[in-house]
């Protein structure tokens, strides 16, 4: 589903590569934690997967396609297959919960009848049934993250990328968010999550890929967080 072949990314003006000859293979349906100290290259890995950047050398494949060579006009189609969730939720504050989730379908041209059916179903899936008419600022942090996950998942992407999704949440709330991501993963969606949350990684026992100075230093099935902050 995601394959990096000797991928190097050097940002303009930087002497050191942010990712250095990284090779990784992630199968459909896997749940993978990406760990490593600040600056180790986690965000760069995620951004290359989304084609926000092109690799300086090497190849990045998503769903069998080599995306570093993808024509620019095909990038939106790629991104539609990848849901994204961030630490800071990134909800549209002037739209209701249902509108935030429905907007993702609206922009890809889905008819209103589909949106009216799928949005409540997805809100129910994330445990927010009945809260569609609320505004984001009327929700707790954990609930706002559930809205963000609903928005990322509403068109059933093949891949869900989560960058520190529990970074702003207390431990109990984080457990709820992880249960939800696990549930989404069980529907067949590949989940790739960058995190500094040792407790969560140790509890979930999923595959752990550790980066250090832009290199993969560990790739462990049913792994633990395993490094000191
Ligand atoms: N746009 C950019 N321009 C120049 N250098 C960058 C850019 N983005 C990241 N870097 C550098 O690339 C390296 C890897 O950064 P990256 O953001 O991928 O790390 P990270 O593991 O995601 O860190 P964090 O945990 O703090 O989010 C760092 O040395 C960083 O300074």
Q: How far is the CA of 194 from the centre of ligand 1 (A)?
A: 13
pLDDT digits (tens, 9 = 90+) for 122-136: 999 999 999 999 999
Residue 19's domain comprises 1-81+158-221
For ligand 1, what atom is nearest to the CA of residue 43? Answer: 22
For residue 148, the model assigns a pLDDT of 97
- Exposed/middle/buried for residue 95 (C-beta within 10 Å: 0-12, 13-18, 19+): middle
Total domains present in the chain? 2
Q: What is the pLDDT of residue 228?
A: 67
Residues 164 and 146 in one domain: no
Q: Note whether 72 and 163 are same-domain residues.
A: yes
At 2-41, the pLDDT tens digits run 999 999 999 999 999 999 999 999 999 999 999 999 999 9
What is residue 177's predicted lDDT score, i.e. its pLDDT? 96
Closest CA to 34 of 228, 181, 225, 229: 225
Q: Is residue 99, in this structure, part of any structural domain at all?
A: yes
Give me the pLDDT at residue 69, please: 85
CB-based contact 147:122 (threshold 8 Å): no
138 within a domain of the structure (yes/no): yes
Pocket lining: 40 vs ligand 1, CB cutoff 6 Å:
yes
Of 122, 156, 190, which marks where a domain is finished?
156
Residue 18 beta carbon below 6 angstroms from any ligand 1 atom:
yes
pLDDT of residue 95: 97
Band (pLDDT 50/70/90 cuts) for residue 229 is: low
Residue ending a domain, among 109, 125, 156, is: 156
Kindly report, residue by residue over 164-206, the tens digit of the pLDDT: 999 999 999 999 999 999 999 999 999 999 999 999 999 999 9
Same domain membership, residue 128 and residue 40: no
């Amino acid at each position: 589903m995601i394959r990096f072949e000797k991928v190097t990314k050097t940002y303009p003006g930087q002497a050191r590569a942010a990712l250095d000859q990284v090779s990784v293979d992630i199968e459909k349906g896997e749940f993978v934690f990406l760990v490593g100290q600040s600056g180790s290259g986690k965000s760069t890995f995620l951004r290359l997967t989304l084609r926000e950047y092109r690799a300086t050398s090497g190849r990045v494949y998503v769903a069998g396609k080599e995306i570093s060579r993808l024509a620019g006009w095909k990038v939106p189609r790629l991104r539609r297959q990848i849901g994204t969730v961030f630490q800071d939720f990134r909800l549209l504050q002037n739209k209701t919960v249902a509108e935030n989730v429905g907007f993702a379908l609206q922009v890809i041209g889905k008819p209103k009848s589909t949106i009216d059916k799928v949005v409540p179903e997805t809100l129910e899936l994330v445990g927010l049934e009945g809260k569609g008419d609320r505004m984001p600022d009327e929700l707790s942090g954990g609930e706002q993250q559930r809205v963000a996950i609903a928005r990322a998942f509403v068109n059933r992407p093949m891949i869900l990328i989560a960058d520190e999704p529990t970074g702003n949440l207390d431990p109990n709330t984080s457990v709820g968010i992880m249960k939800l991501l696990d549930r989404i993963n069980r529907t067949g969606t590949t989940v790739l999550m960058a995190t500094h949350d040792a407790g969560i990684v140790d509890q979930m026992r999923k595959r752990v890929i550790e980066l250090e100075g832009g290199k993969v230093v560990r790739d462990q099935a049913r792994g633990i967080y395993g490094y000191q902050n």
